[in-house]
């Protein structure tokens, strides 16, 4: 594993923008079944974070659960003067930590560190971008749509329209799981919905829906691994460049534990890369998905 200098992530000490501390919950809203939006009062994070990056979040004053959980930026929150004052995170209740979040209220505190990870690519000059989400994989795309359409500034970079058109393809198990659809519609992106049971939009996989529409010039995916694998295969077949944002079991989010590795192609064959510092966004063509036989 080559430990690349994560210069885009952890700048240097103690630079404003790399934050670790306790922050207050400003509000919590249920968006869908088992799905909540959590607003954190964290101005340092809000000023620095870019679409596709994530934060680690944990419960304070306990060692059980022990580790933080990686959660993508949903969007930054601006005050009346347009200054970033908070970050929104959207989470699905899946386990021991997320299961303890829903009862938390405004004023309760969480520990958080970030921003972490490389973030989504600059797609300047691309006419039509397709964002493909499955399950809870839509959450990193709201800020990205706004960045691509020049609607919002992130990480201190001036807002600038990068692309002509953004389409979101969003697949869920059933209608009650769809979270944030109105937020996406409000951005000006074209929203295409799919569900496994047909209770919302197209009945079937989101990748099947994508194949029925105008193929975008660049695809970016986030969701369950089988969906990402299908998307990578589709992109390869159609000759469309594609990036994927991965979620892997992560202990630190910082690049120090070497837990969250994924196998990628390298000049020498393959090697593991840490999803937290070399990702979470990878070029689809670089990903192997299956671990090759031991070398």
Partner 1 sequence: MAQLSVTLGRLTLRNPIVVASGTFGYAREMAAFIDFARLGAIIPKTVTRLPRAGNRPPRTVETPSGMLNAIGLDNDGIDHFIAQHLPYLRRLPTAIIANIAGKTVDEFVELAERLGAEPGLAGLELNLSCPNVSGGIDFATDPRTTSEVVRRVRAVCPLPLIAKLTPNVTDVTVIAQAAADAGADAVSLVNTFIGMAVDWRRRRPILGHVTGGLSGPAIKPLALRLVWQVARQVAVPVIGIGGITTIDDVMEFLVAGARAVQLGTVNFFDPTAAQRISGELPAALATLGATSVEQIVGTLRLNGD
Q: Is 68 in the site for partner 1 (CB under 8 A)?
A: yes
Report the nearest approach of partner 1 to the CB of residue 272 (Å): 6
Contact 77, 89 (CB under 8 A): no
Q: Is 295 in the site for partner 1 (CB under 8 A)?
A: yes
φ, ψ of residue 221 to 5 degrees: the values are -120, 150
Name the residue nearer to partner 1 (CB basis): 33 or 259: 259
Q: Is 65 in the site for partner 1 (CB under 8 A)?
A: yes
Contact 159, 237 (CB under 8 A): no
Q: Is 262 in the site for partner 1 (CB under 8 A)?
A: yes
Report the nearest approach of partner 1 to the CB of residue 295 (Å): 6
Report the nearest approach of partner 1 to the CB of residue 270 (Å): 8
Residue 37 is classified by DSSP as E
Name the residue nearer to partner 1 (CB basis): 234 or 246: 246
Segment lying near partner 1 (by CB under 8 A), choices 28-36, 77-85, 160-168, 247-255: 247-255
DSSP string, 59-105: -TT-SSS-S-EEEE--EEEE-TTS-EEEEEEEEE--STTGGGSTT--
* Residues 87-116 close enough to bind partner 1 by CB under 8 A: 96, 111, 113
Distances from the Cα of 3 to the Cαs of 13, 37, 81, 97, 221, in angstroms?
19, 34, 41, 29, 25
Each residue 20-39 as x (binds partner 1 by CB under 8 A) or -, in order, gives x-------------------
Name the residue nearer to partner 1 (CB basis): 111 or 285: 111
Among 248, 283, 285, 289, which residue interacts with partner 1 (rule: CB under 8 A)?
248
Q: Is 10 in the site for partner 1 (CB under 8 A)?
A: yes
Q: Is 264 in the site for partner 1 (CB under 8 A)?
A: no
Contact 150, 128 (CB under 8 A): no
Using only the alpha carbons of the chain, give its radius of gyration.
18
Among 26, 44, 58, 78, which residue interacts with partner 1 (rule: CB under 8 A)?
58
In the chain, DSSP assigns E strands to 19-32, 35-40, 54-58, 69-72, 75-78, 84-92, 109-116, 128-134, 165-172, 190-195, 202-203, 218-222, 242-245, 261-266, 269-274, 281-283
Q: Is 267 in the site for partner 1 (CB under 8 A)?
A: no
Name the residue nearer to partner 1 (CB basis): 127 or 291: 291
Q: Is 277 in the site for partner 1 (CB under 8 A)?
A: yes
Q: Is 81 in the site for partner 1 (CB under 8 A)?
A: no
Closest CA to 151 of 68, 258, 78, 91: 78
Report the nearest approach of partner 1 to the CB of residue 185 (Å): 37
- Spell out the alpha helix ranges (H) of the chain: 43-48, 141-148, 181-185, 206-211, 225-238
Q: Is 63 in the site for partner 1 (CB under 8 A)?
A: yes
Residues that bind partner 1 (CB under 8 A): 1-3, 5-6, 10-15, 18, 20, 58, 63-68, 96, 111, 113, 248-249, 251-252, 254-262, 271-272, 277, 291, 294-295
């Amino acid at each position: 594993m080559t430990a690349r200098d994560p210069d885009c992530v952890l700048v240097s000490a103690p630079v404003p923008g790399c934050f670790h501390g306790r922050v207050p919950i400003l509000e919590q809203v249920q968006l869908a079944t088992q799905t909540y939006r959590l607003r954190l009062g964290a101005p340092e994070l809000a000023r620095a974070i870019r679409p596709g990056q994530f934060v680690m979040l944990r419960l304070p004053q306990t060692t059980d659960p022990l580790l933080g959980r990686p959660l993508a930026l949903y969007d930054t929150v601006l005050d009346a003067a347009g200054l970033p004052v908070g970050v929104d995170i959207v989470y699905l209740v899946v386990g021991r930590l997320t299961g303890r979040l829903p009862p938390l209220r405004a004023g309760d505190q969480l520990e958080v560190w970030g921003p972490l990870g490389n973030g989504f690519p600059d797609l300047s000059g691309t006419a039509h971008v397709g964002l493909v989400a499955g399950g809870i994989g839509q959450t990193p795309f709201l800020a990205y749509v706004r960045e691509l359409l020049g609607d919002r500034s992130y990480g201190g970079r001036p807002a600038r329209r990068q692309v002509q058109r953004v389409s979101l393809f969003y697949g869920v198990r059933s209608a009650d799981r769809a979270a944030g659809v109105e937020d996406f519609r409000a951005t000006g992106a074209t929203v295409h919905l799919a569900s496994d049971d047909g209770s919302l939009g197209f009945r079937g996989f989101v990748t099947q829906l994508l194949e029925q529409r105008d193929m975008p010039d660049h695809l970016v995916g986030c969701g369950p691994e089988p969906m990402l694998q299908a998307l990578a295969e589709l992109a390869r077949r159609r000759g469309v460049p594609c990036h994927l944002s991965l979620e892997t079991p992560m202990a630190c989010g910082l690049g120090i534990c070497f837990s969250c590795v994924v196998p990628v192609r390298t000049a020498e064959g393959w090697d593991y890369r840490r999803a937290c510092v070399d990702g979470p966004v990878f070029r689809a063509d670089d990903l192997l998905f299956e671990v090759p036989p031991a070398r």
